Chain A
């Protein structure tokens, strides 16, 4: 049981490049979400999904795209990277009940946009 996995662990992008951050969980959790962590800020929700085929925006969705084709996977796409997207990204999942339930976090992806 690997829990929540994220790849890559580190990434450097140039402004304007696109990329996909991968997230997968093997706990059969319906609810998955993406957060970003910036210095001096709490974790902020980017996008979330309550099940396969259903996604919605969080607090800071601009510049990011998500899809949920399977229960296990929830990739986060950066469409055109900007320096303001330099951050640490965490994926999380939880059992039905969504944000009212304990969140299981992945190890994070540290992204730098130059």
Chain B
């Protein structure tokens, strides 16, 4: 059974702090790595889908990197704002299998 690990499980930061989370996944037969943002009482929304080793993606203050050889991805948030409070999910896709989601990192940003 494929396993996707996210750390930390939860995180509390102050407004303006920069932070990062880790997603670890199997390094064999890699196809794609997804990051989603999930706000309370809403549905998950895609942030990034990355497919190439060394990929770096950016959307505003949020960016992500990918290392398929060692099986990890980092999500960075620069200058956290209260509206960044959410659960961040990563999901790993190995061709021919299901999209496997991690349990998420819950970020709380206080002003």
Contacts and interface: CB of A to CB of B under 8 A. Distances in A.
Contacts of A45: 98-99
A98 B80 CA distance: 32
Interface size classification for chain B: 20 to 34
Given A42-B4, A45-B98, A103 B46 contact: yes
Contacts of B98: 45, 48, 58-59, 99
Interface stretch (B13-21, B68-76, B100-108): B100-108
A107 interface: yes
Contact of B101 (A40, A44, A48, A104): A44
Given A48-B98, A107-B42, 17 more contacts: A33-B99, A42-B91, A42-B101, A42-B103, A42-B104, A44-B101, A45-B98, A59-B98, A90-B44, A100-B31, A100-B49, A100-B93, A102-B46, A103-B36, A104-B46, A107-B43, A108-B43
Interface of A: 33, 35, 40-45, 48, 58-59, 90, 99-108
Nearest to A6: B43
Given A43-B89, A59-B98, A100 B103 contact: no
A43 B101 contact: yes
Contact of B34 (A58, A90, A103, A106): A103
A45 B91 CA distance: 12
